[in-house]
Amino acid sequence: MRSRARYLVGRDPQMAEIRQVLADAREGRGGVVFLVGEAGIGKSRLAAEAVGLALGSGMRVLRGRSSTTGPTVPFRPLTEALMSLFRSGRPMDDLPLGPYRPALGRLIPDWSSDAQDSSSMIILGEAVLRLLIATAEPAGQLLLLEDLHDADPETLAVVEYLVDNLEYTPVVLLATIRTEPCDALDMADSARRRGVGAVLELSPLTRPEVGAVIAAQLGTEPDLVPPEALARLWDDSAGSPFLVEELLQSMISGGALVQGEDGWRVVGDLRSDVSTALARGILRRIDRLGPEGLTLLSAAAVIGRRFPLTVLQKMTGIDDRGLLSHLHAGVAAQLVVPDEPSPDWYAFRHSLTAEALLTQLTPGNRAAMAGQAADAVQALHPELPGDWCPLVAELRSQAGDRDEAGRLFAEAGLRALRAGAIGSAITLLSRAERLLSESQDAGRRAEVLEALLPALAEAGNFSEAFGFADNLHVLGSLTAVRLAALHTRLAKVAHTAGRWEDGNRQIAQARALLKAEPDERSTAPIDVTAAYLALDTPGPDRTQLAEKLARSALQAAERHGLSTVVCQAWELLATLARERDFDEATALLESALYTAEQHRLPVQRMYALTRIGGNNWLTEGTTGGLVAARGEALRLGSATIVYTIDGILILDTVLRGEFAAAARAAEECLTVVQRLRLAPATRYVLMSQAVLAAHQGDRPAMDRALSAFADWDGAGAQEEPLTLGLARAFCALMEEDRPGAVRELRAVRDLEDANPSTYYLSGRYGIGLLLDVLSGEVGRSPYEEIAATSPGRMRWNRQFVLFAGAVLLGREGRREEAATAAAEAQALAEAYPTALHLGLRLIAEAAHEDGWGEPVAWLRRAEHHFHGLSVPNVANACRAALRRLGAPVHQRRSGSNAIPEVLRTLGVTVREYEVFQLLPERLGNKDIADRLYISPRTVEKHIAALGTKTGHPTRSSLCDFAAAVLA
């Protein structure tokens, strides 16, 4: 009997698709394939067939597998896969990787250095992509990543980058994933929806296919398989190929299925518990290896599904010959297989094999063997680099050494945090904290909490972080300095969550602890956290207090080399500096970015990039920097920054008039941030929803959003002025209620005087200035004062500042300059259509009165925009203004939307446009009349009107113009 079917059964469609993807890659058209299915369904077997096809066609194959032992380790499968390149004998130092080579030091030990790169996951993903392309010649390359469901978040971030960028390369990514809820499965589904990856779902085998598998193993024909054996295996396996093979082995080894002269027949009871039968069958095969073989594989099972031979030999003391003999026997019995991506490593063919081995160990034996395994690893790798550290931590935990296990998990977590792997860090540090919770080493537990608390905050796990606040009293043996540091960490968590009252209480407790013996090194982190809280705590002096605290923290941090505090202080000072000078703010942020990169602080680097992107958005209206920072935050696992940026992007979409897209994005984002209790992000999205409704003149929807905003502690929040200036004031203008808009903008000024804000789009430096100039309340001197401010130069505000300047120039008789200023404002406002047309509507009558610009055309453009936006008050006001200016007002007939914008703004009607469309044919009036079923006299009237409106009085000139417009 064969121990395994010699060919695949029931997977022809999947193999055909894999074969095609590999062929495409050899032609330079790479691809991505995810093999998805439950455990034992045949993913690894299908992947092995794909490897055989690739090797047979001359392609290079790189293989890596995610860890199933203990907590995940950053980048493990990628490191395994890429390390095989260095075993090929080909020189790697001359590869065309350019500036991306240093980034690969995080994955490839041979290229690591003391100054190891800590760049973003995007850079690392691009570095891996370039390495794969550079090593794929001449026949292409297959990258196989198995068990991606066990992969760490950082590996998935790099894989996601590869998924999006392999199309025009000679590289195929093949990954196996179990059908269980996990980030890897979500990524695969997303790739499928975007059309950048294929998801091949492996279904259970059908009954005939199960029969074919049995026949292949028995070496017979399907119709000669005993029917009762087929029935039992079909029922018990549920179509899983692995279970079919294992249960069939159990039937044969148990004597229930035997081979005679006339073929296979059933002679015993086939009914048994599936899991018991599996375990019994596996152990029978292991027993055949002898006592030493059983001991060897039991030791391997304690290490995990994957195990290194060096550690196994050190652990058991077996000689080389005995070790290889038993391993070869285990391979022959289909119990273990060489773990080909990693030399010196083997793996159990299935996790059930390792589980069966562990069931025959007593708890005492298992603990002792785990301790022996840990000793062996530490003897071979004293520094415990890479994934050795969490492996030994897991083994020490199994051995019952909780303190040492906690220490090692803490070390692994801190390493992950330094590498910017927030998700993995939380997993490892949380494990360390649980193990150390019963330890007498309070200092070690405090060190873990100092790292874990901010990591939880970045990931949005506030409830878990705050859960530690009530338990700090159990750490009473700590020094005042260490306990104060923990309260400071909790204060930072509270700030991230938008709970400034809780944060200020934690700061007060930290200061009280240090009151007797204050020192700069301990107070600097307190001061910088207090500065951030001060900026969010309502009060008239909050910006001054925040700046004072931040500068104090900066000076102390620079003296004591506290690089994280230095970055935090510079970032806060940059936020405050925006009101004075954006160049100053940018310089401070660049200093923070440089410090973060120099000291390998990936989280602070992300914050600096986010603030730089925010500044670019405010000054230039561009979102590229924010989108890049969001990608960085997503790959680091910082939920707070991801959704903070999402809120800004939603507001930007609203201001750009993309209302439907903004509504969808806001609804999706709000669902998540409310569930995570991210108060600042929730308030920002609700404010954006209010602005969205206001810019469409939908007061009920705006009021609903603002009511929800108030429920999230909106009073006194930095977003509150925006709810008045960008929402309520604009809604009043959409209702043609200028006095109401002015009242709201006065309220903005009062609010900002009582609670200064670092958000500068509330109208004080923009729409409010324009309304004050139009009403005559603001003249040249105060206008220039506001126009010269840093907020006055922000792109959103600048459009209104320029419109206001045009009005003042017109009043001063400087008509050409006024028209030039208005043209500059229109060009700047092109990205914000509602603001543009509102500005034109507001200045048109002043322009007409002072004799400059194109007020009639402006009003017609505005009327068309607001009519299409279903804002009738403004559209009707534009029509009324046109009548007051003596300009014809075209009727709103069906078909007006088909008129080109250039003609609509000139007041061309639907009927006139019907005539206009025939002018390029240079027909006579009678021919046009016959075509349109109207009288020649009516045609003559329409052509005369068209000549007047377009400025082409001659028929020949009008025909040429029509031909150009309709071309």
Task: Give 171's strand partners.
Answer: 141
pLDDT > 50? residue 1 = no
Enter the tokens of residue 332.
Answer: 């022959």
pLDDT > 70? residue 119 = no
Look at residue 623 in the predicted model and tell me its pLDDT.
Answer: 95
With residue 462 as reference, give the H or E element that holds it: helix 462-466
Q: Which residues contact 82 (CB under 8 A, 6 or more apart)?
A: 62, 64, 104, 107, 108, 128, 131
Q: Is the peptide bond before 138 cis (omega within 30 degrees of 0)?
A: yes
Task: Give 142's strand partners.
Answer: 61, 172
Separation of alpha carbons 238 and 207, rounded Å: 9
Higher-scoring residue by pLDDT: 385, 808? 808
Residue 308 phi, psi dihedral angles, 5° rounding: -90, 140
Q: Which amino acid is at 619?
A: T
CATH fold for the domain made of 896-966: Arc Repressor Mutant, subunit A (1.10.10)
CATH fold for the domain made of 278-361: Arc Repressor Mutant, subunit A (1.10.10)
Look at residue 695 in the predicted model and tell me its pLDDT.
Answer: 96
Cβ–Cβ under 8 Å, residues 53 and 18: yes
CATH number belonging to the domain at 12-201, selected among 3.90.1150.10, 3.40.50.1360, 3.40.50.300, 3.40.50.620: 3.40.50.300
Look at residue 595 in the predicted model and tell me its pLDDT.
Answer: 95
Look at residue 70 in the predicted model and tell me its pLDDT.
Answer: 47
What is the tens place of the pLDDT at every residue in 195-215? 888 988 888 888 888 888 888
Look at residue 474 in the predicted model and tell me its pLDDT.
Answer: 58
What is the tens place of the pLDDT at every residue in 553-572? 999 999 999 999 999 999 99
The interaxial angle of helices 639-655 and 659-675, nearest 10 deg, is: 160
What is the tens place of the pLDDT at every residue in 272-317? 544 555 666 666 677 777 888 888 888 888 888 888 888 888 888 8
pLDDT confidence bin for 115, thresholds 50/70/90: very low
Residue 919 zone, left/alpha/beta (φ > 0; ψ -120 to 50; rest): alpha
What is the tens place of the pLDDT at every residue in 149-205? 888 888 888 888 888 888 888 999 999 998 878 888 888 888 888 888 898 888 888
0.85 surpassed by pTM: no
**Cα dihedral 812→818→819→822 (10° resolution):** -140
What pairing do the DSSP bridges indicate for beta strands 306-308 and 141-146? unpaired
User: Which residue, 641, 639, 605, 604, is CA-closest to 626?
Assistant: 641
Look at residue 626 in the predicted model and tell me its pLDDT.
Answer: 95
What is the tens place of the pLDDT at every residue in 392-438? 999 999 999 988 988 898 888 888 877 777 778 888 888 888 888 77
What is the tens place of the pLDDT at every residue in 72-83? 567 878 888 888
Span 354-371, mean pLDDT? 86
Enter the tokens of residue 572.
Answer: 């806060």
pLDDT > 90? residue 263 = no
What is the tens place of the pLDDT at every residue in 876-888? 899 889 989 988 8
pLDDT > 70? residue 825 = yes
Task: Give 200's strand partners.
Answer: 35
Separation of alpha carbons 116 and 94, rounded Å: 19
Cα separation values, 9 from 1, 247, 264, 435, Å: 17, 17, 21, 47
Q: How many CB atoms lie within 10 A of CB 718?
A: 20
Query: What long-range pairs does 940-948 form, CB within 8 A, spacing at least 24?
Result: 942/911, 942/912, 942/915, 943/915, 943/919, 945/909, 945/912, 946/908, 946/912, 946/915, 946/916, 946/919
Cβ–Cβ under 8 Å, residues 312 and 362: no
pLDDT > 90? residue 895 = no
Choose the weakest-confidence range: 490-504, 521-535, 562-576.
490-504
What is the DSSP code (8-state) at residue 204? P
Look at residue 589 in the predicted model and tell me its pLDDT.
Answer: 95
pLDDT > 70? residue 456 = yes
Residue 871 zone, left/alpha/beta (φ > 0; ψ -120 to 50; rest): beta
Residue 197 zone, left/alpha/beta (φ > 0; ψ -120 to 50; rest): beta
Q: Give residue for tokens 């997993």.
A: 427
Query: What long-range pairs does 49-55 form, CB within 8 A, spacing at least 24?
Result: 49/8, 49/11, 49/15, 49/18, 50/15, 50/18, 50/22, 50/142, 50/144, 50/174, 51/142, 51/144, 53/18, 53/19, 53/22, 54/22, 54/140, 54/142, 54/172
Higher-scoring residue by pLDDT: 267, 92? 267
SS3 196: coil
Separation of alpha carbons 768 and 351, rounded Å: 68
Enter the tokens of residue 106.
Answer: 């995080």
Cα 544 to the chain's mean position, in Å? 35
Look at residue 749 in the predicted model and tell me its pLDDT.
Answer: 92
What is the residue-averaged pLDDT of the chain? 85
What pairing do the DSSP bridges indicate for beta strands 31-37 and 171-178? parallel
Task: Give 34's strand partners.
Answer: 175, 199
The interaxial angle of helices 780-787 and 795-811, nearest 10 deg, is: 160
SS3 621: coil
Look at residue 523 in the predicted model and tell me its pLDDT.
Answer: 94
Cα separation values, 630 from 5, 651, 677, 794, Å: 48, 15, 19, 22
What percentage of the chain has pLDDT greater than the value 90? 35
Separation of alpha carbons 639 and 426, rounded Å: 13
Q: Identify which of 173-182, 352-361, 468-477 has the greatest average pLDDT.
A: 173-182
Span 784-800, mean pLDDT? 94
pLDDT > 90? residue 696 = yes
What is the tens place of the pLDDT at every residue in 585-610? 999 999 999 999 999 898 899 999 99
With 0-12 / 13-18 / 19 or more C-beta atoms within 10 angstroms meaning exposed / middle / buried, residue 137 is exposed
pLDDT confidence bin for 116, thresholds 50/70/90: very low
pLDDT confidence bin for 117, thresholds 50/70/90: very low
Enter the tokens of residue 597.
Answer: 């990169």
User: Which residue, 440, 418, 416, 419, is CA-closest to 431?
Assistant: 416
Residue 79 phi, psi dihedral angles, 5° rounding: -60, -45
Separation of alpha carbons 725 and 24, rounded Å: 56
